[in-house]
Amino acid sequence: MLRVMQQVLRFQPLYQERVWGGRVLETALGRALPAAAAPGRAPAPIGESWEIVDRPEAQSVILGGALGGLTLRQAIERHGADIMGPAWPRGRAFPILVKWLDCRERLSLQVHPPASVAPALKGEPKTENWYIAGCEPGAHLIVGLKRGVTRGRFERALAALTLEECVHRFPVGRGDSILVRSGQLHAIDGGNLILEIQQNSDTTYRVYDWGRAGLDGRPRALHIEQSLRSIAWDDFEPAPLRAAAAVAVIADAREFRIRREPLAAGATLRVAAGEQPRILSVAEGAVREIRAGGDATAALKRGDNVVLPYAGAFAFEAIEATVLLITENFSQPV
């Protein structure tokens, strides 16, 4: 086993401007965001931070350690068996994309194509989970259709610009979460800070954008035909998982599973070697990694997302009351 695989893989965030974004990642997560493009201009609205990504158009770069400076793709190509497991195909991309979303304003009403129609549309399916890490009073999400809405009624409302009467909108609070599967109509209302853990896909079809202009001042492109072919017309009023629910597994999909692991200050989480790769996300609080001999590394704090390689054994001690999300079951063929 390579010594480098005892390394927790940390990454440089990739920040993305979005018309609906803001600057909350600076205050909520202590991030240093890109400054204004020119003196005198307002700072860029940062809607997304891509935390872990392995795509042709975007690559996470590893910070520090023996693999520091390599992209996630390069690391898997060179050490795929140790990072992902011995059966992992060398050319296969890391299957999960992790993002922080700062939704200052409402996102478009959109859908990701299910696997049954994605190839015909030349797109990729995307199942994703939203964990509400913070929200303003009165924050809402939109997922699914109101009970009884038909495709015909939806299309008439789309033509009349009255789609809000057709969608399922519900309030959320800090610590709530919801699994949004491919084919489910959805939007995020303004005032939400969300940790999104999703399939490695970037196919989104906008069906409605609330009459908004993009960063260039022009209406953003819509994908009406693709959306209508992708929407699950029998998906009515799905319920979120509330923070108060005493459950360990907050998302269990074919593509991945997410466990919520609360730790009291001083409690320890141990991860055995040789089971599977995992993603560790610090939703609240902070932990320090405990290495052999009792040595401690730099803390992982709220907002950090790291990969724990297949071949490594790890232990983390909570510095304060902490909530970790552990993403797993993504290294098998789907």
Task: Provide the annotated active-site residues.
Answer: 206
CB–CB of 277/332 below 8 Å? no
Residue with tokens 């001999």: 293
Per-residue burial over 135-155, b = 16 or more CB atoms within 10 Å of its CB, e = otherwise: beeebbbbbbbeeebeeeebe
CB–CB of 300/288 below 8 Å? yes
CB–CB of 127/180 below 8 Å? yes
Residue with tokens 């018309």: 19
| Helices and strands per DSSP (H, E), number in the chain | 4, 24
Tokens standing for 234? 């029998």
Contacts of 271 (CB under 8 A, 6+ apart): 278, 308, 312, 313, 314, 315
**Helix (H/G/I), strand (E/B), else coil: 132:** strand
Provide the edge-to-edge strand list for the sheet that holds 177-180: 14-22, 46-52, 96-103, 192-199, 128-135, 177-180
Distances (CA, A) of 58 to 15, 77, 93: 11, 16, 12
Distance CA 7, CA 2 (A): 10
